[in-house]
Chains A and B, each alone.
Chain A
Amino acid sequence: MKSHTSHLKQLENESIYLMREVATQFERPALLFSGGKDSIVMVHLAMKAFDPGKIPFPLMHIDTGHNFDETIAFRDRLVERIGARLIVGHVQESIDAGKVKEETGPEASRNGLQTVTLLETLSEHQTDCALGGGRRDEEKARAKERFFSHRDRFGQWDPKNQRPELWSLYNGRKNPGEHFRAFPLSNWTEMDIWQYIAAEQIEIPSLYFAHKRAVFNRRGVWLADTKHMTRYPDEELEEKVVRFRTIGDCTCTGAVLSEASTLEEIIGEVASARQTERGGRHDDKRSEAAMEDRKRLGYF
């Protein structure tokens, strides 16, 4: 990133500024790491923000137990390379402890259960600010999210009662028991993320590039055949060349048919895409206000 005025440089500067604010305004921040491209960009930005020092906070991964194997392998390599501390919260443990009840049947997803495990992991580690990779362009409900997002004692977001954010003055003051989410990528779009990954040559999981995979079609969404997934009898497996636009829980992350096998090709595809990246996400489709409901409850 050399040019001072390029939009990517300006976004990078803004994110770095925010990460440094988080590191100094809070006592025990953590970076929420999902293994997806946004959180990989977050780690890259955090490394730049504190260079030549190390990232002064741990990475925190909420593992549904239904991740793609590639995601976990990638995560472990990254953590080792940058010498960061990794905290993992297991949804399986919340299930075993009887704190949440697992959905059953072919449509079962652990995505909703993550919230409970997340809040528990945050409180166990006394995390007072969780850095998330959320972007305002992802979903209507996020368009009003602040950079510093205040959460009450119960981890809840109150969209009607947000602190105004002016200039680059971020108010992270809080009362005991309250905590914050901070979103350094607020002003980035999906396109910005891809352009930045290409410009900075950031390594991302192979799942993002076109590859052959056994998939089946459920109501227009291509889902991967994994050990965590049950098919309906009429859902036939097919071998397709696909890639993923987002990477989350494999039970609800849809693949797209694509031949894009380089970053340039992906950028070309994103430029002409006619679907938002969340369009392939099964969980958002359940209701138009789905994201908003989850956010109120403390979802990322």
Chain B
Amino acid sequence: MNHDENRDTQTRRQTSQTDANHYLEMDLLRFTTAGSVDDGKSTLIGRLLYDSKSIFEDQMDAIEETSRNAGDEQVNLALLTDGLRAEREQGITIDVAYRYFATPRRKFIIADTPGHTEYTRNMVTGASTADLAVILVDARKGVLTQSRRHAFISSLLQIPHLVVAINKMDLVGYDQDRYEEIVEQFQEFSAKLDVDDITYIPISALHGDNVVHRSEAMSWYEGSTLLYHLEHVEQTSRQNLKDFRLPVQTVIRPDQSFRGFAGQVASGTIRPGEAIQVLPSGQKTVVERIHTADGDLEEAVAGDAVVLTTREEVDISRGSLLVKPTNVPSQEREIEAALCWMNPEAMAAGSNWILMHGTRQVQAIAREVLYTIDIDSMHRQQASELALNEIGRVRIETAEPLYFDPYKLNNATGSFILIDPASNVTVAAGMIREASTRTGAGKPTEGSTAGQSDPKASPNVVWEPWNIAREEREKRNGHSAKLLWFTGISGAGKSTIAKALERRLW
């Protein structure tokens, strides 16, 4: 349909990619694609690659030949993203496959995940690093279980942007009413999800409408094309720029004169001269230099791979977490987490695992499955174990304290995997909700980004949720917050009195 326009794209790509150093301005967006079988996911990716001129002649020749051998009239663009031989034979995709393309503005990494029920684990894997999710809906079929499932997993994994691509619009006569009906269906259900940004785009992957080029057949649609949206959406939304955390990977000590701690800033920022605290030891020191092979930095931000040196000799090694003393994470030996189970053998309460969190590995016991989540209805279900591809809420105890932030506030320090100590296989992906309510402590206060509790706080101190956020209160009162301590035996009415007092003073 839009083939003659391709030449424009080609020239545009050539000229701007050859502009001297233009590529130093390009950034990077990672997105996942998900859809039920036959919704047109492979065709859509093929279309994006083809229309953005990311396909080479020999690849094209190969799929033309395959299409011809299979007796297809049209070149089957879906073949471009088709992976391993076994899958080609079975005619299905079964794992996460990564694809790449670039426009003059941006480089894109697609985590392409299949839509079968049994592959929740692949969707979770793809979603763990994505900035955006493209959810395909077949315009004829409307919002099906699969679409809901993908949206739920995207929100669970906290992908900041969702695009609902309503595909095969050509088969419903490019009808605006049908489009709006589907948007409504989706909105009805997405209201329950934790996603801020949802964009709806009517497309035809097969003919190319609204994928790279605007659709003439759908002039009623005033939004942007899929590619334009992908090129312009904010790509750093996933990063936490407030809470400085750096999990130490290794110590670099070429000689007596240099001892540096290498790692990637997981979140927040750090500058030379700033105080840091080392966890678990609790020792404090000051950052002396932020070394990189390109010279020292005045500031390191989330994502930077750096080497820090400190003013004092402190005990720092692989697995240490560097933070600022004024902003420390929660410290707990018991946590509650959303767990996606990826092992054929179900997880039972009382089982032992190795928990990998940042650059640290600790022994862990799965104490209790609190419930599983039916990902189709999003309802909680009673359960005593977690089976393959199930997602549930689990209470986990670790041999040593974990230093974490809730996943919602910090993907880097709120995520972990479980490893089977016998086979060494990765069996689960976990997202920490909070410290287990059994022990109570370390729950972050509302109004602060992360838990501000001192890591040495007694596990018996319990935070009560606020009625009014701290900032609001301070603004109204014109002075900073003060602490009042109520003591008394359990059940004496401390919380009740405290809340009444809070109202009174307001």
Chain A residues at the B interface, C-beta cutoff of 8 Å: 1-8, 10-13, 16-17, 20-21, 23-24, 47-54, 136-137, 140-141, 143-144, 159-160, 162-169, 171, 173-175, 186-187, 189, 191-192, 195, 199, 264, 267-268, 271-276, 279, 288-289, 292
Contacts and interface: CB of A to CB of B under 8 A. Distances in A.
Interface stretch (B184-192, B251-259, B323-331): B251-259
Contact of B21 (A54, A199, A279): A199
Given A20-B250, A140-B82, A289-B85, A199 B426 contact: no
Contact of B254 (A1, A52, A163): A52
B278 interface: no
B13 A163 contact: no
Contacts of A5: 27-28, 235-236
B258 A52 contact: yes
A159 B95 contact: yes
B245 interface: no
B318 interface: yes
Contact of B264 (A13, A53, A163, A272): A13
B492 interface: no
A201 B254 CA distance: 25
A13 B239 CA distance: 15
A264 B293 contact: no
B109 interface: yes
A264 B20 contact: yes
Nearest to B86: A160
Given A21-B249, A169-B417, A171-B419, A164 B125 contact: yes
B56 A51 contact: no
B125 A165 contact: yes
Contacts of B75: none
B459 interface: no
Contact of A4 (B260, B264, B303, B359): B303
A289 B88 CA distance: 10
Given A47-B293, A166-B417, A171 B356 contact: yes
A240 B234 CA distance: 48
A171 to B, nearest CB: 5
Contact of B249 (A20, A164, A276, A279): A20
Interface string B236-252: 10000000000001101
B83 interface: yes
Contacts of A159: 84, 86, 95
Contact of A166 (B59, B95, B124, B301): B124
Nearest to B101: A189
A170 B502 CA distance: 47
16 contacts: A2-B294, A3-B25, A11-B28, A20-B263, A53-B252, A159-B95, A160-B94, A164-B426, A166-B417, A169-B417, A171-B419, A187-B109, A192-B107, A274-B57, A276-B59, A292-B85
B425 interface: yes
B417 A171 contact: yes
Interface string B110-136: 000000000001101100110000000
Given A143-B83, A171-B426, A166 B415 contact: yes
Interface string B333-366: 0000000001000000000001011110000000
A7 B98 CA distance: 16
Listed residue (A1, A12, A48, A143) with the most chain B CB atoms within 10 angstroms of its CB: A143
A169 B356 contact: yes
Nearest to A16: B305
Listed residue (B25, B107, B307) with the most chain A CB atoms within 10 angstroms of its CB: B107
Listed residue (B20, B82, B100, B301) with the most chain A CB atoms within 10 angstroms of its CB: B100
A144 B249 contact: no
B367 interface: no
Given A5-B27, A7-B26, A51 B307 contact: yes
B310 interface: no
A167 B264 contact: no
B28 A7 contact: yes
B228 interface: no
Contacts of A13: 264, 303-305
Contacts of B291: 51-52
A167 B305 contact: no
Contacts of B58: 275-276, 279
B57 A167 contact: no
Given A13-B264, A159-B86, A292-B84, 10 more contacts: A1-B294, A7-B28, A8-B23, A10-B28, A13-B303, A23-B250, A141-B83, A164-B122, A166-B128, A189-B107
Nearest to A145: B98
A5 B304 CA distance: 10
Interface string B43-69: 000000000000011110010000000
Contacts of B358: 169
Contacts of B97: 143-144
A167 B426 contact: no
Interface string B252-283: 11100010101110000000000000000000
A182 to B, nearest CB: 14
Contact of A279 (B56, B342, B359): B56
B128 A167 contact: yes
A222 to B, nearest CB: 15
Shortest 7 CB-CB distances between A and B: which pairs?
A173-B424, A51-B293, A53-B254, A7-B28, A274-B57, A48-B293, A268-B18
Given A144-B95, A166-B429, A189-B102, A171 B424 contact: yes
Contacts of B95: 144, 159-160, 162
A173 B99 contact: no
